[in-house]
């Protein structure tokens, strides 16, 4: 039994992971990622971001993300698609452009329409808007906010639902798990989109967590529940749990295991939590040390594909569910 088949047995839709084309020529990685008992859902880690899919205005490039999508599809696994309107990894024509509300609306409309049309019918969900909030729950500064105000959020969702209403449309962000004020902001985003009459189906909790600073299973479940009460589903979309000091001690590794169990357990506790995606499953490919030097070992498997205490604890949790 693997992570995905155990999640399905526990009544969830999937256990997933981020994957990218640079993982394709790693035989040990592929042996694990193509095991349908282990993973049922894949998120392209970078290749569907705006700077890759539309590097120059109206020039769409899908080669890299198509390779991920094709691999997943040919193996009978599912795709979570990531992401459309995001302030980061933007091509310079967007981030440095001079915009009016009308011209930026046209650019967002063309981007979402082209990318979602290309992947129509292939995505379980789309992260339509990513990371629109500051830590205090106010809206994050971006070319989108400064030109259009918060209206860019319902705008993005309403365009997306016109292109592919069958895919689940998500708002996705980090630290919603740990910051009540940021979660307040995300509640307001869901309400803003609903009040505009636009479709929103889910909220993605990235869950980039830190060892020893992860809320309890009950607290995490309560936060998920705030969103379910608004009528949307929820998921953990980028789960990892980073050690603050490297290398971790045995006690650190046990704490990491408990933190993973709290996160996955909280999804089990909330009926409309549909699944868990980890942001890479091996430390070999984790984004953490590149962004936070000195932190790391955030994944379920070591660099050499050994199962960590965290992996074993999640399996044990799911076997008991």
The size of the interface with ligand G3I (CB under 6 A), counted in residues, is 9
Nearer to ligand G3I, 259 or 313 (CB): 259
Please check whether residue 263 is in contact with residue 238, taking contact to mean a CB–CB distance below 8 angstroms.
no
Q: How far is the CB of 86 from ligand G3I (least distance, A)?
A: 8
Are 238 and 279 in contact, with CB atoms under 8 Å apart? yes
Task: Tell me how far, at minimum, the Cβ of 157 lies from ligand G3I, in Å.
Answer: 18
Question: Are 264 and 216 contacting, i.e. CB atoms less than 8 angstroms apart?
Answer: no
Report the site for ligand G3I in 42-81 (rule: CB under 6 A).
Answer: 45-46
C-beta of 6: minimal distance to ligand G3I in Å? 25
Residue with the two structure tokens 């060892």: 211
Beta strand ranges found along 150-272 (DSSP E): 168-173, 202-205, 208-210, 233-242
Which of 24, 62, 287, 292 binds ligand G3I (CB under 6 A)? It is 287
Q: Which is nearer to ligand G3I, 167 or 206 (CB)?
A: 206
Strand partners, 200: none
Q: Which residue is nearest to ligand G3I (CB)?
A: 287
Helix 250-269 and helix 309-319, axial crossing angle in degrees, nearest 10 = 30
Query: Which two structure tokens, joined as six digits, stand for 173?
Result: 């962000």
In order, the DSSP letters of 9-28 are HTT-SEEEEEE-GGGTT-HH
Strand partners, 301: 282, 307
Tell me the closest approach of the beta carbon of residue 48 to ligand G3I, in angstroms.
9
Q: Examine the residue annotation and report whether 238 is marked as an active-site residue of this protein.
A: yes
283 binds ligand G3I (CB under 6 A): no
Catalytic residue among 38, 177, 233, 238: 238
**Interaction of residue 206 with ligand G3I, rule CB under 6 A:** yes
Q: Residues 131 to 190: which contact ligand G3I by CB under 6 A?
A: 174
- Specify whether the CB–CB gap between 182 and 137 falls below 8 A: yes
Show the tokens assigned to 201.
Answer: 């189906």
Assess contact for 119 and 73: CB atoms under 8 A. Answer: no
- Phi and psi of 233, rounded to 5°? -85, 170
Least distance (Å) between residue 280 CB and ligand G3I:
7
The reply on whether position 240 binds ligand G3I by CB under 6 A is no
Site membership for ligand G3I, residue 302 (CB under 6 A): no
Is 88 a binding residue for ligand G3I by CB under 6 A? The answer is yes
Q: Is 54 among the residues known to form the active site?
A: no
Residue in 38, 131, 177, 233 annotated catalytic? 131
Q: Which active-site residues does the annotation give?
A: 131, 238
Give residues in contact with ligand G3I (CB under 6 A): 45-46, 88-89, 174, 206, 238, 287, 291
């Amino acid at each position: 039994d693997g992570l995905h088949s155990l999640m399905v047995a526990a009544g969830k839709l999937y256990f997933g992971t981020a994957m990218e084309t640079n993982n394709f020529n790693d035989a040990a990685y592929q042996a694990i990622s193509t095991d349908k008992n282990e993973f049922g859902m894949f998120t392209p880690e970078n290749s569907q971001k705006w700077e890759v899919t539309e590097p120059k205005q109206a020039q769409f490039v899908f080669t890299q993300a198509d390779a991920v999508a094709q691999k997943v599809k040919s193996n009978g696994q599912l795709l979570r698609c990531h992401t459309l309107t995001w302030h980061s990894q933007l091509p310079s024509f967007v981030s440095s452009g001079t915009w009016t509300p009308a011209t930026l609306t046209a650019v967002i409309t063309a981007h979402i329409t082209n990318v979602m049309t290309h992947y129509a019918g292939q995505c379980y969900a789309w992260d339509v808007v990513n990371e629109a909030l500051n830590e205090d729950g106010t809206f994050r500064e971006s070319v989108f906010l400064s030109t259009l105000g918060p209206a860019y959020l319902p705008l993005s969702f309403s365009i997306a639902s016109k292109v592919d209403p069958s895919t689940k449309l998500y708002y996705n962000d980090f630290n919603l798990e740990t910051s009540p004020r940021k979660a307040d902001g995300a509640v307001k985003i869901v309400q803003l989109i609903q009040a505009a009459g636009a479709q929103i189906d889910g909220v993605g909790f990235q869950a980039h967590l830190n060892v020893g600073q992860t809320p309890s299973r009950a607290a995490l479940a309560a936060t998920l529940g705030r969103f379910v009460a608004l009528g949307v589903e929820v998921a953990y979309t980028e789960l990892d749990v980073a050690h603050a000091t490297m290398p971790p001690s045995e006690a650190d590794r046990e704490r990491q295991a408990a933190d993973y169990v709290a996160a996955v357990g909280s999804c089990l506790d909330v009926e409309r939590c549909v699944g868990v995606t980890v942001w890479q499953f091996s430390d070999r490919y984790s984004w953490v040390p590149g962004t936070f030097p000195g932190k790391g070992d955030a994944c379920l498997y070591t660099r050499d594909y050994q199962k960590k205490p965290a992996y074993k604890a999640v399996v044990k949790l799911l076997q008991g569910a």
